[in-house]
Structure 1
Amino acid sequence: MRLIYAIPIVLLPNTAHFPPDVSVGVSVALLVMALFLREPDPPHLKQPGYLFPPLVALFLAMAIGFIAAQWHDMSNAGKDLREAKVAVLFPFLYLAYRKCGLDLKATKQLIVVVLLVAVAAGFEALLQGLRFNLGEFSETQRAVGPFGQIRMANRAGVFFSMFLPMLTAAALQPKLGRVPRAAAIAGSVILAVAIMLTYSRQSYLIALFGIMVVLVWRSIPAAVLATLLLAATATSFLPGSVVDRVQQTQQVDPSGAVTFDLSTTSRFTIWEGTIDMLRDHPAGVGLGRFTGHIGNYTNYAGKDAHNGFLLTLAECGPLGLLALLWVFWRLWVLARRLRRSAGPARMGLRTFELGFTLAVVSMALGNMYGSPFFDSVIMANFWILCGLMERYGLLKVHAAAQLAAASKPVVEPEPLGLRFPLTARAVPGTVRLTRLLR
């Protein structure tokens, strides 16, 4: 069963390496087969999935948006259906792994597989970057890992940034063991380099935020020292292409005026156009119709919204945005529940839980300057991780409760004759009779 569940984790992020729909088709077939072969869950795992209600709400909002889009134009119905599969894929993957029927050890192993696949994707991006000119940034040289075309570079950076905090948290855990900790350190380095080679500036900020939070959790002085070292050595330690990419964001002309590069200013223009689009279509333009309408409000026809929240609001209206915010809120609460149920951080019991919290935050930040939330290739393993982490937390709580119950001393009831000495005197043999009755 572990192998059946591990194969989709490997296939889905590597969709671009296979013929169209092969990885998705094989993954769905395997998960449906596992649904009939898996062991039934014990009572303590039969409670509904915590993310299921908001995901259903988001599915309904996207379904309404799909119907609205087809109502106005059915010429691209096939393409719209392929894009709408994301609405089904999210809850399917989350539920499939939340209800996988595996025990605590196997669930933990699958979480490790998710991290290993992320590291493998980062290593592929690293190999791509070795062919670049690292002395100067070029738009035609950006690592994407297994995610296909160069336009996926920003989303690849978000993917690496989501899983980096989990590995960093493990790398800073002294009780983890020498070999696993060394593997976590190596994985963290690979993902950090991969993020740099995507030249995604939002991913730089997300990754730095995640690492700093983990360092603060481990030791505030270590976080301060790391910040000072980074500030002092950034320009000499980082490749020239990375420094060049960051410096392109904001420039000062000879007159002293501050200007932003085209990539940044285009986002501001698109966001303004999105607001104008909402005024004309307050209920949304329909699922998948943003790129067809944004050209009526800006000079960037066919462009993405570069913000997952604005994209949802523009296409599915306020109902879609509320459903999306509900999903994010439930994700945050789930992460908080996992941290609280895992025990005190000083005991080293919350490595996965703290890393998962930062993965959720990183995913949310990634949708502030882009919209990877609706990209199934980028998000598939994140939703698998959500299902596994929820199951992992419930199994840990149950195992801890069983251990506490087993270690609790059994207190035998005090004999009646000892509790009431006068009765023992009045009726001799009371103590012996009580012991015989037990």
Structure 2
Amino acid sequence: MLRFLLLFQILYTVYQGHYNFESGVPGLNLPNALFLLVLVMLRFSGRPDEVEPKAFMRGPLLFFMAMLVLAFVIAQVRAPGAFMVDVTYLKNALFSPLLYFMYLHCRQDLRNTRLLVIAVMAVAAIAAVQAIRQGFDYGIGTYVETHRASGPFGSNYRDANRAGVYYAMFLPMFIGLALFLRDKRWRIAALGGVVLLTMALLFTYSRQAYFIAVLGLAVLLLRRSVLLAIVLGATLASLVGFLPESVTQRVEETQQKGPHGEEKVDESTASRWEIWAGALAMWQANPAGVGQNRFKDEIGHYSAFQHFDAHNFYVLTLAEGGPQALLALLLLVLATFRLGAWLRRSMPPDDPEARALAIGFSVTALCMALGNLYGSPFLEGNVMGTFWILCGLLERYMLLKTRQVPASTALVVSGADRMIERFPLAARARGLPARRP
């Protein structure tokens, strides 16, 4: 029963906005109720945990949550509004990161932990199928602003950027598996996921997501082989002409011609810069921040755009929570990078699956950080929830994996040997594996 609930929560985390049910209790929705149910079952399961996770992200996560609470207090003191609305906003902001702790301590063995990781990937592929269907229903001949696919992340085109960030964020996991796994069946399955998420990403028409996906692909290809990166890069560049015309139209909108032929950015890009300038002025006028969920109410005083989102979560955090909240956010992002580095260091030797997951997650963490530079989905549970779940699951997965490797088989590599490993022929002469992380 516990395993079923853990699996169902992964699925519903992404689809919570698509299938929303009221609990009848103010401030309590179905994701919260499901979380509490799983928490109770974990508490009274009576099953001892096989490992004692260190929770690498505990400190940064708790610090970030504390800064969210402080921003809530600032909002109530400085500009009190609808109290229950603010409480619900705070609750939703705090809820999603808690999934990291739940799945880190989910008390599942290696087999079931691996199954949960597969479930996270499968849900991403299912969400991609929905966006693909929307894209084909809209048509791909000519770009139309209102014909952008949002998948399960919203009801209209305004949520397409959020969907694009999600697909770009999880795409490296599939690419990593396709590049580094040895089992042919799983590599084919991973390639299928790459195709699905790439198509879904294209139909969101999110230029930010396009950039993130290309960067993630480049990093993974370079990690696999410089020659492979060059060959595939040239191949993909030659295939640009085969993209749907609507996609190329969307990309070309970034640079436009002025009335006298001069180059200028499109209105969407220019408006973001003006909003960010207004956000900086907002922070200068309120050094401690204007308070949580107050940006849209205040931005009209500092720019020509009223009731607009910041379109950059780092800027939004500075404006609403002050430099202390921005510091907490940056430390949390850094913690995800550190988790990726720990996964790469801890993976057992000659384990292609662990290597693929570790390297794929490292790039996924980078894509997550970039996804909040031109948007602000960081507190959106349906976008970020499964990312936090993946953080907890992969930390647990690697701990369980390393328990299976006898200490005598652990590979100790000196600094000089690590340098030699970068050169395959020299490494082979020394009897060392090439291209360790």
Q: Same fold (TM over 0.5)?
A: yes
The 5 A counterparts of 1:36-115 are 36-38=43-45, 39-42=47-50, 45-115=51-121
Once the two structures are superposed, the pairs formed by residues 18-417 of structure 1 within 5 Å of their partners are: 18-21=19-22, 22-38=29-45, 39-42=47-50, 45-149=51-155, 150-175=157-182, 177-234=183-240, 236-253=241-258, 255-343=260-348, 349-401=354-406, 404=409
| CA drift at 1:343 | 4.3
Q: Which residue does the alignment assign to 1:426?
A: none
Which secondary structure does the structure 2 equivalent of 1:299 belong to? coil
Indicate conservation of the 8 Å contact 1:12/1:27, yes or no: no
2:361 & 2:341 partners in 1: Cα distance?
10
- Give the Å deviation of 1:119: 0.5
Cα distance in structure 2, aligned partners of 1:404 and 1:226: 36
C-alpha separation in 2, matches of 1:30 and 1:182:
37
**Cα pair distance change 1:347/1:147, threshold 3 Å:** closer
Q: Is the alpha carbon distance of 1:100 and 1:348 closer, same or farther for their aligned partners in structure 2, counting shifts above 3 Å?
A: closer
Contact 1:12 1:23 in 2 (8 A): no
Q: CA deviation at 1:231?
A: 2.1
Task: Tell me, in whole angstroms, the C-alpha distance in 1 between the residues paired with 2:19 and 2:328.
Answer: 33
> Deviation of residue 280 (structure 1)?
0.4
Report Cα offsets for 1:50-80 as digits up to 9, x if no partner: 1111111111111111011112333321211
> Which residue identity does 1:355 align to in structure 2?
G
Q: Matched residues in 2 for 1:398 and 1:206: separation? A: 35
Instruction: Give the CA deviation at 1:171.
Output: 1.4
- Cα pair 2:313 2:373 within 8 Å, conserved: yes
The one-letter amino acid paired with 1:156 is: A
Match of 1:420 in 2: none
Is the 8 Å Cα contact of residues 7 and 27 (structure 1) preserved in structure 2?
A: no
Structure 2 letter corresponding to 1:163: F
CA contact 1:58–1:87 (8 Å) conserved in 2: no
What is the letter of the counterpart of residue 17 of structure 1?
Answer: H
**CA offset at residue 24 of structure 1?**
0.9
Q: Which amino acid aligns with 1:354?
A: I
Distance between the aligned counterparts of 1:142 and 1:241, measured in 2?
Answer: 10
The residue number in structure 1 matching 2:12 is: 11
Q: Which has the larger radius of gyration?
A: 1
Which amino acid in structure 2 is aligned with residue 179 of structure 1?
R
- Residue range with higher mean Cα deviation, 344-353 or 152-161: 344-353
Task: Give percent identity, aligned residues only.
Answer: 39
Larger deviation, residues 60-69 vs 254-263: 254-263
The residue type paired with residue 32 of structure 2 is G
Q: Structure 1: how far apart are the matches of 2:59 and 2:164?
A: 29
After TM superposition, give the deviation of residue 401 of structure 1 in Å.
Answer: 3.2
Count of aligned pairs between the two proteins:
401
Separation (CA, whole Å) in 2 of partners of 1:105 and 1:283 = 47
- Contact 1:11–1:23 (CA<8 Å) still a contact in 2? no
CA offsets 1:161-211 (integer angstroms, 9 cap, x no match): 111101111112351x23222111111100000000000000001111111
CA deviations over 1:400-435 (Å, ceiling 9, x no partner): 136849xxxxxxxxxxxxxxxxxxxxxxxxxxxxxx
Q: Aligned equivalents of 1:204 and 1:182: distance in 2?
A: 23
Q: CA 1:27 to 1:289, structure 2 compared with 1: closer, same or farther past 3 Å? A: same
Asked whether the 8 Å contact 1:66–1:287 carries over to 2, the reply is yes
Q: Is the 8 A contact 1:16 1:147 kept in 2?
A: yes
| Counterpart Cα distance in 2 of 1:109 and 1:382 | 16
The structural deviation recorded for 1:348 is 6.2
RMSD between superposed Cα atoms in Å: 1.8
Q: Deviation string for 1:226-260 (max 9, x for gaps)?
A: 221222220x2100000000000001346331111
Deviation per CA, 1:311-360: give whole Å up to 9, x if none: 11111111101111110111111100101111458966400000100110
Q: Distance in 2 between matches of 1:270 and 1:301?
A: 10
CA contact (8 A) 2:354 2:398 kept: no
Partner secondary structure for residue 330 of structure 2: helix
Distance change in 2, residues 1:124/1:233 (3 Å): same
**Residue ranges of structure 1 left out of the alignment (5+ in a row):** 406-438
Unaligned runs of 5+ in 2: 23-28, 411-437
Amino acid at match of 1:134: I
Give, in whole Å, the separation in 2 of the partners of 1:37 and 1:159: 34
Q: Decide whether the 8 Å contact of 1:4 with 1:34 is kept in 2.
A: no
Runs of 4+, deviation exceeding 4 Å: 343-349, 402-405
Is this contact kept in 2: 1:143–1:198, CA < 8 A? yes
- Residue identity opposite 1:191 in structure 2: L
What CA distance in whole angstroms lies between the structure 2 residues aligned with 1:214 and 1:194?
20
Amino acid at match of 1:35: L
Q: Distance in 1 between matches of 2:119 and 2:30?
A: 17
SS of equivalent to 2:287? coil
Tell me the distance in 2 between the aligned counterparts of 1:349 and 1:292. Answer: 47
